[in-house]
Amino acid sequence: MSLIRQFEERLKWLVETGTPVGPVHFYIGQEAVAVGVCAALEDSDWVASTHRGHGHCIAKGVAVAPMMAELFGKVTGTNRGKGGSMHITDISKNILGVNPINGAGVAHAVGAGLSAKVRKTKQVAVAFFGEGSAGVGTVHECMNMAAIWKLPVLFVCENNRYAQTTPIEYACSVPNVADRAAAYGMPGVIVDGQDVFAVWRATETAVQRARAGAGPSLIECKTYRYLGHHQSDDTTRYRLPEEEQAARDRDCLKGFRARMNAGGPLTMAQLDEIDERNKRLMDEAVEFAKAGAVPEASELYTNVYVPDGKASR
Amino acid sequence: MKEPTAVRELSFGPSINEALRQEMRRDPNVIVMGEDIAGAAGRAHLGFIDAWGGPMRATRGLITEFGPERVIDTPISEMGFVGAAVGAAMTGLRPVVEVMFVDLIGMCYDQIANQAAKMHYMMGGHVKLPMVIRTAYGTRGDKRAYGGGAAAQHSQTLYSVLAHIPGLKVVVPSTAYNAKGLTIAAIRDDGPVVVLEHKFLGLQAKGHVPEEPYVVPIGKADVVRQGTHVTLCAAGRMTHLCLDAAQVLAAEQINAEVIDLLTLNPLDEETILQSVRRTHRLVVVDEDTPVCSMARDIAARVAEKAFDDLDAPIKTVTAADTPVPFSAVLEALYTPRVEQIIAAVREQMG
């Protein structure tokens, strides 16, 4: 959580000081969701992300230096500079992609679940999606298919309450996205998305169910994005400062610290050390990103078609 | 002393806004619908209204005048609301829907290509379908990546896959003036019209826009620069590139004619052919990728109908035949550039 926060804070600073990184959707405020979910997964499990995907990548183990280099458009980036923030990913960490087409990644997770079932690998697949994407037809088709085929899929809704500027109470016909699980015959649970332990426990339960062959689950994490939809969005045009402050008062990192302070096992000094280490990692990441080469002109034409050859998997 | 006549200038987004506003005032059946076209939906009681207004703020302020019954924010449901526009158009409304970026037509292509475009034909001409789909497209194509850099799924041009569909009219404004006129024409048209709005026209598009409503006819190209040696033919932001190229070429005593297509389908073939018959050379500039593109379609039409008038092989300048890359240096190479147009003309002039 600390590393995700620092990555996003550093990126925000870079954007504000004029580094051209294209459109970015900050994850600040939602860190407990990515971390709680990924903590309950094996490395071999799959994750499909959203347009707001930096946190999912870091939680699944992608190194921050090549991520930063990607945002700088360098060949040393995770995607060789071809993807940028909205496609930043590392398939070797079993991430099916960060994806700015709403609901698209949900289908990929269902496909990964199907693949795991057919190949009998016991892997599970997580579909992260926002509450905005709960309005996308693909998501509903996918929930139905995953349920009828009993696929090992976790539908993790990160309900940060706003699709760009559109509030959930306007765009969703029921109070909770989790309410819709009943329509597809799967468990639907609501968890406090600011509590990393709550997210982790709910995910563990759903993972067990999925690995046992009992089918998918829907977990709705109630969370909040502190910043705008992207760097050009002014949140004061659609939400109250009191509401923003109330969300910040329930900050996942502060909550984690308070909990450790109350009962451990980590000491405050250890947490400070983690923060310090992460700060160094971010310094190194920015240096790495700056030092990388911009792509050669020939890179424009590479990777367009998958080369002929034997299947790689 | 005489007062100077004030010529009102508008930029691209505000001129589209004015077109929508005037048509909504004229006809109560005109509605607008899309994601965050107003913003902060349902929050007027908290003092929040009109928080966004679309990627170019073209719909900003409409909700305060026309209310949420006619300015409808939707959930993220392109397939649903574009399809609903088809149904609404068949039953008496004139919906104008906004698909935020043209890339997202993938989410509702059935409703556009199979439903909207063909309904009139399938029903033997017995139904009208007065609907407009507005959508933003394009790359910035220079090295200032901020604001560009939207990569493979938010930067495409994709007008070929729309112009390809019989029954669908496709228009591409290039200036504030023709944006207003084409938008009004699209709303008044009784069939489905797609309006493609470039994201990065900026100051190039700014200019005189009359305050009263007017129509720029669909299906008519505009000769925006007269010339005698070569015809440059383009749409949207590429028209401005052609004008820039023409200026450079003029210094070399090459006099280029520039045609702004404005409508891709139905294409104003006659204006292109007439021009080529005078200049005997044609360069088509296209921001879309080259395979099955407008550039090659136009080249083929001219080759079929005016081959004997040509003094040099037709040239096309298009985007690279690749997805749109993120990295600013690659995006600049991906997008057609003025120097490519100049090189194509020089080659033709021998």
How would DSSP label each residue in A235-296? GGGTS-HHHHHHHHHT-HHHHHHHHHHHH-SS-HHHHHHHHHHHHHHHHHHHHHHHHSPPPP
Q: Is the CB of A163 less than 8 angstroms away from the CB of B333?
A: no
Chain A, nearest residue to B323 by Cα: A304
Q: Is A97 on the interface with B (CB under 8 A)?
A: no
Residue A281 CA to residue A287 CA, distance in Å, equals 10
- Bridge partners, residue B245, by sequence: none
What is the distance in angstroms between the CA of the first residue and the CA of the last residue of chain B?
A: 54
Q: Cα dist. A308→A263, A272, A305, B49, B305 in Å?
A: 57, 50, 9, 54, 41
CA dihedral A106, A107, A112, A113 (to 10 degrees): 80
Look up residue A97 and give its amino acid.
Answer: G
Residue B109 CA to residue B232 CA, distance in Å, equals 31
Residue A100 has its nearest CB partner, among B74, B144, B153, at B153
Nearest chain A CA: its distance from B40 CA (Å): 5
Q: Looking at residue B1, what is its pLDDT?
A: 52
**Residue B310: CB atoms within 10 Å:** 17
Between chain A and chain B, the number of residue pairs with CB atoms below 8 A apart is 154
Q: Looking at residue B202, what is its pLDDT?
A: 84
Q: Give pLDDT < 50 ranges for chain B.
A: 145-147
Q: Looking at residue B142, what is its pLDDT?
A: 67
Which residues of chain B are within 8 Å of residue A87 when distances are taken between CB atoms?
151-153, 326
Residue A268 CA to residue B274 CA, distance in Å, equals 79
Query: How much is the mean pLDDT over chain A?
Result: 95
Q: Looking at residue B4, what is its pLDDT?
A: 61
Q: Is A259 on the interface with B (CB under 8 A)?
A: no
Q: Is the CB of B151 less than 8 angstroms away from the CB of A84?
A: yes
Query: How much is the mean pLDDT over chain B?
Result: 95
What whole-number percentage of chain A has pLDDT above 90?
94
Residues 75-94 of A with CB under 8 A from B: 79, 81-84, 86-87
Domain A2-297 homologous superfamily, CATH = Thiamin diphosphate (ThDP)-binding fold, Pyr/PP domains (3.40.50.970)
Mutate to test the interface with B, among A71, A237, A244 (most CBs of B within 10 A): A237
Domain B9-208 homologous superfamily, CATH = Thiamin diphosphate (ThDP)-binding fold, Pyr/PP domains (3.40.50.970)
Q: Looking at residue A176, what is its pLDDT?
A: 98
Averaged pLDDT, A33-47: 98
Q: What is the pTM of this model?
A: 0.93
The CATH code belonging to domain B222-349 is 3.40.50.920
Nearest chain A CA: its distance from B65 CA (Å): 18
Residue A264 has pLDDT above 90, yes or no: no
Chain B, nearest residue to A69 by Cα: B327
Q: Looking at residue B5, what is its pLDDT?
A: 66
Residue A312 has pLDDT above 60, yes or no: no
Cis amide leading into A66 (omega within 30)? no
Q: Is the CB of A237 less than 8 angstroms away from the CB of B320?
A: no
Averaged pLDDT, A188-209: 98
Averaged pLDDT, A62-78: 97
Residue A293 CA to residue B256 CA, distance in Å, equals 39
Which residue ranges make up each domain of chain A? 2-297
Which residue ranges make up each domain of chain B? 9-208, 222-349
pLDDT digit string, tens, across residues B113-167: 999 999 999 999 999 999 999 999 999 876 554 447 888 999 999 999 999 999 9
Q: Looking at residue B55, what is its pLDDT?
A: 85
Q: Is the CB of B39 less than 8 angstroms away from the CB of A165?
A: yes
Averaged pLDDT, A168-197: 97
Residue A310 has pLDDT above 90, yes or no: no
Nearest chain B CA: its distance from A211 CA (Å): 32
Residue A89 has pLDDT above 50, yes or no: yes
- Bridge partners, residue B71, by sequence: B32
Distance of CA A115 to the CA centre of its chain: 22
Q: Is the CB of A167 less than 8 angstroms away from the CB of B329?
A: no
Q: Looking at residue B145, what is its pLDDT?
A: 47
Mutate to test the interface with A, among B45, B107, B158, B330 (most CBs of A within 10 A): B330
